[in-house]
Structure 1
Amino acid sequence: MLDETRTPHRPKTDWTVFGVTAVLTLAFIVWGAVATDSLESVSTSMLNGTIRNGGWAFVLVASGFVVFALWLAFSRYGRITLGAEGETPEFRTVSWIAMMFSAGMGIGLMFYGVSEPLSHFTDPPPGTFPANASAADRIDIAMATTLFHWTLHPWSIYAVMGLAIAYSAFRRGRRQTISAVFTPFIGERHLNGPVGKIIDILAIFATLFGSAASLGLGALQIGSGIEELDWASDVGETLLIIVIAVLTLAFVASAVSGVEKGIQWLSNINMVLALILLVFVFCVGPTIQMLNLVPTSIGEYVGDLPQMAARTKATAGNDVDAWLSKWTVFYWAWWMSWTPFVGMFIARISRGRTIRQFVGGVILVPSAVSLVWFAVFGGTATKLEADGAGLAGKATQEGQLFSLLREYPLVGLTSVIVMILVGIFFVSGADAASIVMGTLSQDGTLEPSRPIVVVWGVLTGAVAAVMLLIGGGGDAALTGLQNLTILVAVPFLIVMVAMCFALTKDLRKDPLILRTLRGREAVETAVITGHERYAGDFELEVIAADPATTLDTPDLPREDR
């Protein structure tokens, strides 16, 4: 944590940031509740224009974040500690990984673990294979495309934001807000000015809608589970809104309990439950197929990465816009909308780690877990579909995981575990989001006041309900979630690009980097001087400096000081 002297006992609310964001959010909620058709029409029109004219930006910038994160890890900056020199990590590595993974994308893996590989298998991405291609070819491209969306790119996006916040807060001692990262550009005096407030407002909006999209996905999947278990014959909008209300109450209660008590406890529980489900499907499903898919998927992913990272209308034809908005651009927008709270949360739990450790842990470990997850669930789903099980036609996207489990024993128990996992994954992620929105609303305090946290939690639930109402249920509701997530992420895309330049400017002036540079210059100068004066016959010695000769001789040439 930061020095307690920097965090007041009673956090001070920035009423401009909080008020503007809350009022605009309430206006959106009222608009969606009173004139749902109007909001749907406007959002659809704006989305079409965004994808047509700006889809390339999401594709290009996401790959840029991958390069930037890896460059930081392998460059001279990788040795820098996110905190004071010699500081040790606050959390054990296992708990650190569990919290990071649970908050980062756990609910997405539950929703898309079966449905995405299955979707790409039955309807391959534009420019790849036709739907009647061999099953082996379609499985390869389905797994490669899924890994493209869930491994290196998303976690690099998270790593960039988390690293910028952690460095700014723990290394430079600034307040923990997104705007504070831009201090090298706007200066300390202007953090409380219009530019700093706009940055934090955009960060709260991105967080709010990203969390609401996740809540909507969770509600859809829990609703599908209720149908699969015959607890209700038809899950309509009313029941989905009740599910949203229950989940909202749960994550608000968790959020006010604090990081150590709430999120860490829930994350560890979910890690165990997810492992139980994974092992169960691995044992009862096509085990050899899953094992074969691990190296095959890696090879296919690496081989197709350039093509997938460059997929636009120019390379894949006119029908790629709709596909990108449903998959790649939606994912990049979703990950970017999650970056304020996931990045801030990862930063909060990563104090004391070096930049190299941070980037390696944030990118590689969750990517490896995602690979195993999709190999098990996606491999099982595509194998069953290739064998004629017809999973894709039996259920909507949110129900396909339950359809897969129905093919194996203990379907009732495993379905309940899935719904518990979805609920806890969302709670553990959304309570982090509500705390972060509170932090951004109260000048970066690590412990925002409970009323502010509760307000943001309730608004998140209300926005999720509106986003579901736009679609009206089923796949249409999923489309509504995706559309609004992309639109809200557009301005924050610009913020993230500018943040990379601000972080780079900060790192160049880091004390460790400056000491290293000056040390190299001093040694190099001494060696040159030794050669010039003593024809190479000299030795270097470290002795105590004389202040009179080192500080009071500014006119001497550098080599003579």
Structure 2
Amino acid sequence: MTNTNVDTNIQNKENKAVYYISLMIVFAIAVWGLVFNDHFSNAANWLMAFLQVNFGWVYLMSMFVFVIVALMLGFSKYGKIKLGPDDSEPEFSTVSWFAMLFGAGMGIGLVFWGVAEPISHFVSHSSPGSTEAASFAMRASFKHWGFHPWANYSIIGLALAYFQFRKGYPALISSIFVPILGEKRVNGPIGKTIDILAVFATVAGVATSLGLGTMQINSGMSYVFGLPVNSIVQVGIIVIITILYIGTAVAGIEKGIKLLGDINLYLAGGLILLTFLVGPKLLMLNIFSEGMGTYLNNFIYDSLHMNIMGDNSWINGWTVFYWAWWIAWAPFVGSFIARISKGRTVKEFVLGVIIAPAMASFIWFAIFGGLGLSMIDKVGLEQLTEIAKIPETALFASYSHYSLGTILSFITLLLLCTFFITSANSATFVLGMFTSGGDLNPSTKKKVIWGLVQSLLATALLLSGGLKALQTASVAAAFPFIFIMLLACVSVFKAFGKEDI
């Protein structure tokens, strides 16, 4: 096994361009979104629509390839390769490792969409409120939150963990391409361009989630405690969350991020258990069984299905948008997962990053989807349709019809905040790494700066009404990452082929 020794100080100097260019791009996007909001929104919407209509098939096929490649690597002879030296051991316990990667990957999204997505499909189906609609709703939810997004994260995470811990390269997305491009090109303009794209995708994605998450927390507090929904409260929420996530990021992984990840896991586990106990238990169990069956039975068809000469608006609006969103998050989530995965084998990595989180997502959607679908017997189809129109309060609206609803809503608000902070502090840590030449322990200054940049961008666009446009723009702008990730697959196979197994 060969190692490449990289002097961190030299690498930091070489990558100052990544730091300053990234900041300038983020600043330019923020100004565009604030000053020319309508123009920014129109441009973002046009670009997203263009990509969905003309390249939806690229998103579908690529995400399917990521699943196949990840499973092949994990369950082939390469599965025994260590992500680090042969004698290395995992840095974190399996429980803490899973808690951190799950919280960074999609924790807050599950809380937001756990009830909202199933009931949205349920009431918008061609036969709303029917058994067929319920089956379709859960099948679609399982698809969007199952193996595909986690396999997508695993491509970057596995490749980066291998090259930084086993081969000794910096913790930069560009390091993945050394077998294809060579070190000279990776350290030149091509490599820097890849790293700048990764920084932009991370900042835009997390800033959007910060703003949208703030709106949900505000809506939940309004629903539960009667707090007004307005910009003053939302700015206050962002300030408090920012202080907490920068603080935990500065504290480091062991003292800050790991602790919060463990808290997330216990809160989420408690919420799932209590919701199951007070909710329609038989319906939830039936949903899990049938949902898994239809999901697995139709996996290949659903992964690649497009209406050849028909209407693809649902596929574009839901599946393609989700796939684009997960790809936009891949640089950040994949890099963070890589950072905490030293010492794992490839097989352990695949099981922990794809199989286990997907199963947790299936359980989550079975329980909360069941909670949402059962509402039709309590409020009727018309009222359920109205609830589905406001996804940020759908979960709280469901709880209001069950015993312990207030307690469950309070736990949900706590979980929203902790998941929120986990995603943001993980992103802050990763941005520090990306703009410090891949330093695994970036400086406090870098982490504080990026934490504030994300917060200020989210606040400005939230107040100006440009948050949705930023989300659309960030998802569309991540399109090049499809090809970066496909090349990452090639690079990993090329590097693994040289291992003495």
Q: Are 2:18 and 1:27 equivalent residues in the alignment?
A: no
Contact 1:391 1:404 in 2 (8 A): no
Which structure is richer in relative contact order (CA contacts within 8 A, separation 6 or more)?
2
Alignment-mate amino acid for residue 355 of structure 1: V
SS in structure 1 opposite 2:394?
Answer: helix
Rate the CA distance shift 1:244–1:398 in 2: closer, same or farther, 3 A. same
For this pair of structures, how many residues does the alignment match?
A: 495
User: 1 CA distance for matches of 2:10 and 2:277?
Assistant: 52
How far the C-alpha of 1:459 sits from its partner, in A, is: 1.7
Note the alpha carbon deviations across 1:102-159, whole angstroms, 9 max, x for none: 11110110100110111111113xxxxx134x62221111111101011110111111
How far the C-alpha of 1:427 sits from its partner, in A, is: 0.9
Instruction: Tell me which of 243, 253, 261 is aligned to 1:249.
Output: 243
Alignment match, 1:377? 368
Write the mapping of 1:45-444 to structure 2, written as runs, cut at 5 A. Answer: 45-124=46-125, 130-132=126-128, 135-233=130-228, 235-314=229-308, 317-318=310-311, 320-321=312-313, 323-389=314-380, 390-394=383-387, 396-444=390-438
User: 2 CA distance for matches of 1:326 and 1:406?
Assistant: 30
Per mean C-alpha deviation after superposition, the further-off stretch among 486-495 and 276-285 is 486-495
Contact 2:204 2:471 in 1 (8 A): no
How far the C-alpha of 1:191 sits from its partner, in A, is: 2.5
Identity of aligned residues (%): 39
How far the C-alpha of 1:411 sits from its partner, in A, is: 3.1
Cα root mean square deviation, aligned: 2.2
Alignment-mate amino acid for residue 42 of structure 1: A
How far the C-alpha of 1:481 sits from its partner, in A, is: 5.3
User: 2 CA distance for matches of 1:469 and 1:305?
Assistant: 41
User: 2 CA distance for matches of 1:419 and 1:442?
Assistant: 35
User: 2 CA distance for matches of 1:248 and 1:311?
Assistant: 41
Q: Are 2:446 and 1:452 equivalent residues in the alignment?
A: yes
How far the C-alpha of 1:335 sits from its partner, in A, is: 1.4
Rate the CA distance shift 1:7–1:350 in 2: closer, same or farther, 3 A. farther
Note the alpha carbon deviations across 1:56-80, whole angstroms, 9 max, x for none: 2111101110011011112221121
Contact 1:468 1:480 in 2 (8 A): no
User: 2 CA distance for matches of 1:465 and 1:11?
Assistant: 33
Contact 1:10 1:449 in 2 (8 A): no
Structure 2 residue runs of 5 or longer lacking an equivalent are none
User: 2 CA distance for matches of 1:9 and 1:258?
Assistant: 20
User: 2 CA distance for matches of 1:201 and 1:407?
Assistant: 48
Note the alpha carbon deviations across 1:319-353, whole angstroms, 9 max, x for none: x23x3343212211221122122111111211111
Contact 2:432 2:442 in 1 (8 A): yes
User: 2 CA distance for matches of 1:385 and 1:482?
Assistant: 32
Contact 2:177 2:488 in 1 (8 A): yes
Provide the TM-score with structure 2 as the length reference: 0.94
Contact 1:392 1:400 in 2 (8 A): no
Contact 1:207 1:340 in 2 (8 A): yes
Contact 2:123 2:384 in 1 (8 A): no
User: 2 CA distance for matches of 1:207 and 1:411?
Assistant: 35
Instruction: Tell me which of 484, 487, 492 is aligned to 1:498.
Output: 487
How far the C-alpha of 1:231 sits from its partner, in A, is: 3.3
How far the C-alpha of 1:428 sits from its partner, in A, is: 0.9
Per mean C-alpha deviation after superposition, the further-off stretch among 291-300 and 85-94 is 85-94
Rate the CA distance shift 1:290–1:7 in 2: closer, same or farther, 3 A. farther
SS in structure 2 opposite 1:87?
Answer: coil
Contact 2:34 2:464 in 1 (8 A): no
How far the C-alpha of 1:485 sits from its partner, in A, is: 3.2
Alignment match, 2:12? 12
How far the C-alpha of 1:467 sits from its partner, in A, is: 4.7
How far the C-alpha of 1:10 sits from its partner, in A, is: 10
User: 1 CA distance for matches of 2:56 and 2:411?
Assistant: 37
How far the C-alpha of 1:416 sits from its partner, in A, is: 2.2
Note the alpha carbon deviations across 1:510-559, whole angstroms, 9 max, x for none: 2x24xxxxxxxxxxxxxxxxxxxxxxxxxxxxxxxxxxxxxxxxxxxxxx
Alignment match, 1:520? none
SS in structure 1 opposite 2:31?
Answer: helix
Instruction: Give the greater-gyration-radius structure (CA).
Output: 1
Alignment-mate amino acid for residue 325 of structure 2: W
SS in structure 1 opposite 2:441?
Answer: coil
Alignment-mate amino acid for residue 399 of structure 1: T
User: 1 CA distance for matches of 2:174 and 2:459?
Assistant: 30
Rate the CA distance shift 1:283–1:24 in 2: closer, same or farther, 3 A. same
How far the C-alpha of 1:33 sits from its partner, in A, is: 1.6
Provide the TM-score with structure 1 as the length reference: 0.84
